[in-house]
Amino acid sequence: MTVASKVLQTIDTSCYEYMHPWVTSCSDASASLFIHSVQASFRIYLTTYMLTLLMKGRKPTKKELIKTFYSILQSTAFLSCHAFGFSSAVCLLRRIIGNFNVLSVAFLPCFLTCIIAILIERPSRRGLLTLYVTNVASETFYKMMVSRGIIKPIPFGDLIIFGSAITLLLYCYRGQHNKADSIYSLLRFVVGHCEENEYIKPSLTSQETPINVTSDQNMIKKFIEDIKASYFTLDNQLKKLWVNETCPHPNGCLHYISNSGTKIFLVGYTLQLCLKSLLQAKKVIRKPTYILNIMIKPDTFSLGAFLGGFSTIYKFVSCFTRRILGKDSKYICIPAGSLASLTFCMYRSNTIALYFMLKSLQIMYNKGSNGKILPDIPQANVLIYCFSTAILFHAAILEPQNLRSSYWKFLQSVSGGCVGLMDRHCLDAFGLRSSESLEKVLMKHKPVPLQLIQF
């Protein structure tokens, strides 16, 4: 069946048979979905915003608490609008058109709903939301193309995407860029501020650090002080080794490479350890020694190895290249970033690869539009958000096997399990085996029990 025939094909099923088989009334179905989505959305954003406040590490002011409360309500209204609006739009389009086609069952009603929903959310959050849904939609669209046999999976495709994107971003980092952008804050953490554009090299800081140990100290304290003295002595010696005037960092290259790589490895390892401990908190509480098993598992080291290895290789190649050329250049980041990106194999993630790809495309588009090379499309982030979310809803309804598992669980949670109860048998006429795909997905994921609300 061709694409054109699928788009033109219609089915005469009612919205009750497809959209809400658990209740005959369209208004009751939309109201029930609205109540479920409000409850789930409020829980999600209450947790999110409260954690944001806690991460600031200080007692919030009354003004901040009030602002946070209003933000929770606004974001809850934004997310709830999707569930209520989607159900209402599906039923309304069915009444207007008189039947369903492959676009009106999910894509078109979702697109129209998103236009309203995204305008409810704060403008400051629209960019992040667009980036997230575009990330998931890109992966979903790729799976859709693979399942249709249009494209074939590329071995290490995620590594190629990540390597190309991170190298381009590092090139921008070495040139003119918006220093306030979050992606450059991340690069500043991993590769250091010394590699950033317009960084001014300070004077050499390799002074000896005196360690005074008085005679009345006990043995344990003296032992600790001796360790500190040995560390500072070694650190100062490293600062003097392999000094190169062409490098932007103040101390020797060996100190610059090893010190940063070790610190970033420890940060990545600690983050991974904390995350795994939280996810397996019940096991840790029952058996506290289980934390030791988590600490020595190979996958606990993966994030630290990726971040620390990337930083180490990037700085080593950069320093080595500067020493050979006898000068510094922003083009050094191309071989350095390409080689460092190979550490992505230690922590492969489609989400990370697509995030960097989309950020690089966004930055290049902004540069092109600012330079009048590309057209400046008004409300481009709103249109991209609506289109990306519509793709995700299309996949959730017609081909859920191509949807990311985490997003399927999210839709099930927000809808109170209604997404999994929508009858796909009538949609099999489009040739996508939607009912069979749904059964496979429901077998993989525990279904959310539907709590019917009577009116």
Residue 181: predicted pLDDT: 83
Domain match, 363 and 403 both:
no
The answer to whether 369 and 376 have CB atoms below 8 angstroms apart is yes
Q: Is the pLDDT of residue 90 over 60?
A: yes
The answer to whether 420 and 438 have CB atoms below 8 angstroms apart is yes
Give how many domains the chain has, as a whole number.
2
Number of H helices, E strands in the chain: 19, 2
Q: Is the pLDDT of residue 394 over 50?
A: yes
Is residue 393 situated within a structural domain?
no
Over range 1-30, report the average pLDDT: 79
Helix (H, G, I), strand (E, B) or coil at 247: coil
Over range 77-91, report the average pLDDT: 92
Domain match, 246 and 320 both:
yes
Domain match, 250 and 106 both:
no
Per-residue pLDDT of 243-300, as tens digits, reads: 778 888 888 888 888 888 889 999 999 999 988 888 888 888 888 888 888 888 888 9
Domain match, 422 and 310 both:
no
pLDDT band at 206 (very low <50, low <70, confident <90, very high): very low
The answer to whether 366 and 396 have CB atoms below 8 angstroms apart is no
pLDDT band at 237 (very low <50, low <70, confident <90, very high): low
Domain match, 171 and 101 both:
no
Instruction: Choose the final residue of a domain: 350, 370, 390.
Output: 370
Q: Of 338-352, 369-383, 426-440, which range is least confident?
A: 369-383
Closest CA to 310 of 351, 354, 275, 345: 345
Q: Of 137-151, 186-200, 322-336, which range is least confident?
A: 186-200
Over range 353-374, report the average pLDDT: 88
Is residue 178 situated within a structural domain?
yes
Sorted by sequence, the CB contacts under 8 Å of residue 190 that are 6+ apart come out as 264, 307, 310, 311, 314
H or E segment at 239? helix 219-240
The answer to whether 338 and 167 have CB atoms below 8 angstroms apart is yes
Is residue 453 situated within a structural domain?
no
Is residue 168 situated within a structural domain?
yes
Domain match, 95 and 58 both:
yes
Domain match, 248 and 352 both:
yes
100 bridge partner residues: 11
Share of the chain above pLDDT 90, in %: 38
pLDDT band at 235 (very low <50, low <70, confident <90, very high): low
Domain match, 238 and 343 both:
yes
Over range 119-142, report the average pLDDT: 91
Domain match, 171 and 289 both:
yes
| DSSP characters over 280-324 | THHHHHH-TTHHHHHHH-GGGSHHHHHHHHHHHHHHHHHHHHHHH
pLDDT band at 8 (very low <50, low <70, confident <90, very high): low
pLDDT band at 454 (very low <50, low <70, confident <90, very high): very low
Residue 197: predicted pLDDT: 79
- What mean pLDDT, rounded, does the chain reach? 85
Task: Quote the distance between the C-alpha of residue 18 and its chain's center.
Answer: 33
Closest CA to 369 of 381, 355, 386, 354: 381
Q: Is the pLDDT of residue 446 over 70?
A: no
Domain match, 166 and 311 both:
yes
The answer to whether 268 and 300 have CB atoms below 8 angstroms apart is no
Residue 315: predicted pLDDT: 92
Is residue 347 situated within a structural domain?
yes
H or E segment at 354? helix 350-370
How many whole angstroms separate alpha carbon 246 and alpha carbon 254?
14
Is residue 315 situated within a structural domain?
yes
Per-residue pLDDT of 24-52, as tens digits, reads: 888 888 888 899 899 999 999 998 888 88
Is residue 449 situated within a structural domain?
no
Q: 265-299 as b/e, with b when 16 or more CB fall inside 10 Å? A: bebbbeebbeebbeeeeeebeeeeeeeeebeeeee
Domain match, 359 and 425 both:
no
Q: Is the pLDDT of residue 201 over 80?
A: no
Enter the tokens of residue 265.
């490895």
Over range 373-381, report the average pLDDT: 83
Domain match, 57 and 167 both:
no
**Maximum distance among all alpha carbons in the chain?**
94
Is residue 153 situated within a structural domain?
no
What single letter denotes the amino acid at residue 147? S
Enter the tokens of residue 46.
């209450």
Which residue range forms the structural domain that includes residue 324?
161-199+233-370
How far, in Å, are 53, 274, 285, 287, 409 from residue 282 at the CA level? 26, 14, 5, 9, 22
The answer to whether 45 and 74 have CB atoms below 8 angstroms apart is no
Closest CA to 354 of 48, 143, 119: 143
Over range 129-145, report the average pLDDT: 93
For residue 378, count CB atoms less than 10 angstroms from its CB and return exposed for 0-12, middle for 13-18, buried for 19 or more: exposed
